[in-house]
A = this chain, B = another copy of it.
């Protein structure tokens, strides 16, 4: 089991990070998710991401451990950035590797749903017109997305 979990301010190179996992020939399926900063119809210049770093690392570790408990995974990678992230840049990278695609897809989606609703990060929008940033509101969709994992299998989270 390869596990890389990191919170950082600098940009990441997704392909280098995945190559560094050193997947073996038991892996048949690799799923990656990259979350990118949208420009919101051209109005958004950047997102500023505030984190609670010590808790974020602990929480990401708990979510990764739960994913490993639920699915037979060969590798989990989670990198989440904080600080100023310009429109078009990547915010988060999740990768999961498994023998079969169903497990890799489910685990990646599970990790993202939990990161969205449980990892202590908050986004502030910086507009192109220079107006004061507003905090991005949490989405009910995200709460609904995470709820489906609770109903399907018991969780320690």
Contact bitstring A33-69, B, C-beta under 8 A = 1, else 0? 1111111001000000000000000000000000000
C-alpha gap A42/B29 in the complex (Å): 17
Interface string of A118-147 (1 = CB under 8 A from B): 000000000000000000000001000100
Q: Check B112 against A33 for contact (C-beta < 8 Å).
A: no
Number of copies: 2
Dominant SS among interface residues on chain A: mixed
Closest residue of B by beta carbon distance from A34: B30
Contact A105 B102 (CB under 8 A): no
CB-based contact A38/B25 at 8 Å: yes
Q: Mark A61-102, 1 if CB is under 8 A from B, else 0.
A: 000000000000000000000000001100000000001011
Given the known inter-chain contacts A102-B145, A109-B105, please indicate yes or no for A29 contacting B35, CB distance below 8 A. Answer: yes
Interface size on A, residues (CB 8 A): 32
Q: How far is the CB of A33 from chain B (nearest CB, A)?
A: 5
Interface contact B30-A36, CB-CB below 8 Å: yes
Q: Given A31-B32, A31-B33, is A26 in contact with B38 using a C-beta cutoff of 8 Å?
A: yes
A87 to B33, CA, bound (A): 24
Residue of B nearest to A141 (CB): B102
Could you say which of B14, B15, B33, B102 contacts A29, with CB atoms under 8 Å apart? B33
A residues with a Cβ closer than 8 A to B are: 14-15, 23-39, 42, 87-88, 99, 101-102, 104-105, 108-109, 112, 141, 145
